[in-house]
Amino acid sequence: NAGVTQTPKFQVLKTGQSMTLQCAQDMNHEYMSWYRQDPGMGLRLIHYSVGAGITDQGEVPNGYNVSRSTTEDFPLRLLSAAPSQTSVYFCASSIGTSGGGYNEQFFGPGTRLTVL
């Protein structure tokens, strides 16, 4: 049971390039989400999904796209990278989607992205 995995661990992009950050979980979790972590700001929610085929925006969605074609995978796409997207990105998953956040979210190890 690998939990939540993310690839790559590190990535350097030039402004305007596109790329996809991969996230996968093997726990059959319904809920998956992407956060970015910036110094002094904690984690902020980018996009989330409550199940295959269903996604929605979080707090900071601009510049990012997501899709959820399977339960296991939830990739995050940067269409045209900008220096403001330099950050550490975390994927998380949890067992259900009950209101109030009762279900523990499990986090991946993160992807450190630098945009030059």
Q: Which residues bind other proteins (CB under 8 A)?
A: 4, 31, 33, 35, 40-45, 48, 50, 56, 58, 90, 92, 94, 96-105, 107-110
Of 12 and 41, nearer to other proteins (C-beta) is 41
Least distance from C-beta 24 to other proteins, angstroms?
14
Least distance from C-beta 22 to other proteins, angstroms?
15
| Residues facing 45 on adjacent strands | 35
Least distance from C-beta 52 to other proteins, angstroms?
15
CA atoms within 13 A on the CB side of 43: 13
> How far is residue 52's CA from residue 36's CA, in Å, rounded to a whole number?
22
19-25 and 76-78 strand pairing: antiparallel
Residue with tokens 């093997």: 26
Of 14 and 39, nearer to other proteins (C-beta) is 39
